[in-house]
Amino acid sequence: MTTTTFSMQTLPAGVRPVARFARIAVQSAALAVVWYVADFIVRRLGLPVPGGVVGLVAMLALLFSGGLPARWIKSGADWLLSDMLLFFIPAAVAAVQYGGLFREDGWRLALVVVAGTLMVMVAVAFAVEQAARLERRLALRRVRVTRHAARA
């Protein structure tokens, strides 16, 4: 018994967009199911973290362990990320409803946003610097080990 694998190139030209749409829809639905299950678990167990965070950790564990090949969710994830700006529209519309809050405490909110952004930037810069130092030390150690092995 032989197995045949299909790719987008083996499909007729008119079927390719439909197959691509179907793949993106199925993969996006799979990502939504992971989020829904994680959110259900968080609510059921009363965990103090959002369901999205638990879903992200579960998805990372599946990807890193090899239990879920990245190609199974790549198209759906790429589509969701490309249209992510649309997900912020409801938040922007909701902010319009709180015009009085922004008039009274807008400067405080702006200060918090700017300070939070600066703290994130400093933390990322520090983490990158520490990672670069660690990588330089490891590279130097590898060079020393190879030189020592070459002399022996």
Query: In this structure, what is the dihedral angle of CA atoms 103, 104, 108, 109, given to the nearest 10 degrees?
Result: -50
Could you identify the residue written with the tokens 């439909």?
A: 18
The per-residue pLDDT string of the chain (152 residues; one tens digit each, 9 = 90 and over) reads 444 454 555 555 555 777 888 888 898 888 888 889 999 999 999 989 888 889 889 888 888 888 888 888 888 888 888 877 777 777 677 777 777 877 888 889 889 989 999 999 999 999 999 999 999 999 999 999 888 888 87
Q: What is the pLDDT of residue 7?
A: 52
Q: How far apart are CA 95 and CA 101, in angstroms?
A: 9
Task: Write the single-letter amino acid at 109.
Answer: L
Full 3-state SS string of the chain: CCCCCCCHHHCCCCCHHHHHHHHHHHHHHHHHHHHHHHHHHHHHHCCCCCHHHHHHHHHHHHHHHCCCCHHHCHHHHHHHHHCHHHHHHHHHHHHHCCHHHHHHHHHHHHHHHHHHHHHHHHHHHHHHHHHHHHHHHHHHHHHHHHHHHHHC
Task: Give residues with Cβ within 8 angstroms of 58, minimum separation 6.
Answer: 34, 38
Task: Report pTM.
Answer: 0.49
Q: So what's the pLDDT on residue 1? A: 46
Instruction: Give the pLDDT of residue 63.
Output: 86
Could you state, in order of their start, the residue ranges of all structural domains in the chain?
Answer: 1-85, 98-152
Evaluate whether 55 touches 34 at the Cβ level (below 8 Å): yes
